Structure 1
């Protein structure tokens, strides 16, 4: 299994909205960055991703599961970008803020710290375990 992080502004698409979609999940559309696209193309069904509230909150609030691998993004008129389907798995008991992650030297190389504007990122297994522990799961 691979681990990822996906970002959304809560005013655009929040964790609560993702949870409300239930088992059918939702297409993760609108990504218009080629590096993020390549990351989505590597996602496999069953992979897990942290759900990060960007701009407002700046914290990891939950975990989602990839339930459909990449396919053409129906919101992209150019045909260059892809999307995946995700469903909410579980919330973190305690959201983990970007500030908290930045203060932990063991997480200094995390993509969230190094590439803060990238909307779909990979997460190393040891980083995944640490953030899950910090979040109470």
Structure 2
């Protein structure tokens, strides 16, 4: 048995297995097979009007959606630069940003589909009790 696996202590006599199951925090996502993930983006700017901002995202689906949104915005910025400077390099970078945004959106869709399946299984289990 690998040393990293956890063993659960046997249930005391008369206790139900559910009473001894490990508790999940309220923020714990459904068990979809996707890793638990948290993202914090820290933005700071110095100058005449300095500012700082922290953007937090929790969960694979939410992080992937945020990533796709940011990459789509970066694609638009790069295309603007390409038009301003008539530079094919910006067009190539914009294409890469769009491809990465598409990948992030596919990850979001897959995570969403898995979460929907988990929720459907939970609903079916409640109905058949």
TM-score by length of 2: 0.21
Query: Relative contact order: is structure 1 or structure 2 higher (C-alpha 8 Å, sep ≥ 6)?
Result: 1
Max radius of gyration: which structure? 2
